[in-house]
Amino acid sequence: MKSNRRDFLKRTALSGLALAGLPTLVPATVLGQNAPNNRIGMGLIGMGLIMGGHRNHFCGRPDTQVLAVCDVDARKRDAAKRDVENAYARRQGAGSYAGCEAYHEFEDIMARSDIDAVVVCTPDHWHSPISVMAMRHGKDVYVQKPMTLTLREGRIMSDTSRQHGAILQVGSQQRSERAFRKACEIVRNGWIGRVHTIYTSLGRFAPPRTLPEQPIPEGFD
């Protein structure tokens, strides 16, 4: 099987995503400088709050190129396209940059052979179908938690990853971060004594309430 620098970067790109909270890729200096066709082509699907951090991270790397963004909300996808192109324009010291496409349908990203990997930050019920389709199209996947809504969907995603040789990484980075692992070590070894009370919180969401009916915003599918 042929292997080149781009293949190597692609295989390592998403396998280390969760180790540091944000995606961790092999530095450009490991295998020499990056020609444009050696960069990992990225497609970003679901341009909400969490994706903003991923977008900025990938735009700042010399070995990745954000080629496409996708969202059902025209305002979000157009803003994301603008942010990506402005970031690359600043890096190049150019007045403008045009190289990021904005899509309404995620299938358009799947159809592109120059996109090697996708990041999925959509509402939860879309995590599985988008990830499975991406892997079937030969793309590696970083998908935000929860991985799926059902065990069956999770098994399908795992099986698809194996069948197509695709990397599938779920964004549960706190399971891997050094600080959290150290905290577990401290508690399990009894270094702080017997733990009798644990406090936790679940999200930052408003309590359930009934909202008035509103028209669908223009540009939102």
CATH number at residue 151: 3.40.50.720
pLDDT tens-digit readout, 71-88: 999 999 999 999 999 999
pLDDT tens-digit readout, 91-118: 887 666 778 999 999 999 999 999 999 9
Among 28, 61, 43, CA closest to 114: 43
**Residue written as token pair 């969490």:** 50
- Predicted TM-score (pTM) of the model is 0.76
96 is a domain residue: yes
192 is a domain residue: no
190 is a domain residue: no
Q: How confident is the model at residue 144 (pLDDT cuts 50, 70, 90)?
A: very high
Total number of domains constituting the chain = 1
186 is a domain residue: no
For the beta sheet containing 168-170, the strands, ordered from the edge strand earlier in sequence to the opposite edge, are: 101-103, 64-70, 40-45, 117-120, 140-143, 168-170
Share of the chain above pLDDT 70, in %: 82
Per the CB < 8 A criterion, the answer to whether 68 and 112 are in contact is: yes
